[in-house]
C-alpha cells in the first residue's frame, strides 16, 4: 500500500527493506491474517472465502480449511484477485517498528485491520471541511 506523501516522514528511511523482511522472510510470502500467497491470482467469493490452489481446498477469511457445500452458481460468483502483501502496524503507530508490532497482510486483511483508523480519519476530514466552510463561508444551510 503506498504511503501518502504527507505521512512519509513518519516512516524510517529503511522502510522498504524492513517491510520486505517482514513480508517475505518472516511471513514467507503469505498473508499472516488469511494465508493468501503474494503475487498469485486467487479465486474468491467476496466474503473472505478463497480457493487455495496449492492444497486444492477452499479456505475462510482466517485461512482455515472449510468444506463448501455444492452450490449451483459457485463458479459464477467467484472472482479473481491478484494478491499483494503490505506491512501493517498492528497498533497504527508508525513510530513503533518493533518486530511484534508489524504484520504482513494482503489487501483484504489490511483494509479490515485499518477500518477503525479509516473511519476516524474520514470523520476528521469531513469535520475539518465543515469547520473551514463555516469559518470562511458562514454556517451551512
In sequence order, what DSSP letters do the residues of 32-44 get, joined into one string?
Answer: TTT-PBTT-EEEE
- Distance of alpha carbon 53 from alpha carbon 42, whole angstroms: 8
- Distance of alpha carbon 91 from alpha carbon 102, whole angstroms: 9
Maximal CA-CA distance, the chain: 62
The enclosing H or E element of 81 equals strand 79-82
Binned at pLDDT 50, 70 and 90, residue 62 comes out as confident
Instruction: State residue 122 phi and psi, 5-degree precision.
Output: -65, -45
The predicted-structure confidence for 78-123, as pLDDT tens digits, reads as follows: 889 999 999 999 998 888 999 999 999 999 999 999 898 889 888 8
User: Residue 28 corresponds to which cell in the numbers above?
Assistant: 514467507
Confidence (pTM): 0.77
Amino acid at each position: 500500500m503506498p504511503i501518502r506523501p504527507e505521512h512519509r516522514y513518519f516512516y524510517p528511511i529503511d522502510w522498504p527493506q524492513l517491510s520486505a523482511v517482514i513480508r517475505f522472510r518472516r511471513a514467507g510470502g503469505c498473508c499472516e491474517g488469511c494465508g493468501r500467497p503474494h503475487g498469485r491470482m486467487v479465486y474468491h467469493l467476496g466474503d473472505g472465502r478463497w480457493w487455495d490452489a496449492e492444497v486444492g481446498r477452499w479456505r475462510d477469511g482466517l485461512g482455515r480449511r472449510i468444506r463448501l457445500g455444492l452450490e449451483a452458481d459457485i463458479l459464477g460468483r467467484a472472482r479473481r484477485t491478484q494478491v499483494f502483501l503490505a506491512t501493517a502496524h498492528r497498533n497504527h503507530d508508525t513510530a513503533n517498528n518493533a518486530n511484534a508490532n508489524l504484520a504482513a497482510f494482503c489487501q483484504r486483511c489490511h483494509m479490515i485491520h485499518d477500518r477503525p483508523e479509516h473511519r476516524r480519519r474520514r470523520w476528521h476530514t469531513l469535520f475539518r471541511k465543515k469547520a473551514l466552510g463555516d469559518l470562511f463561508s458562514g454556517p451551512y444551510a
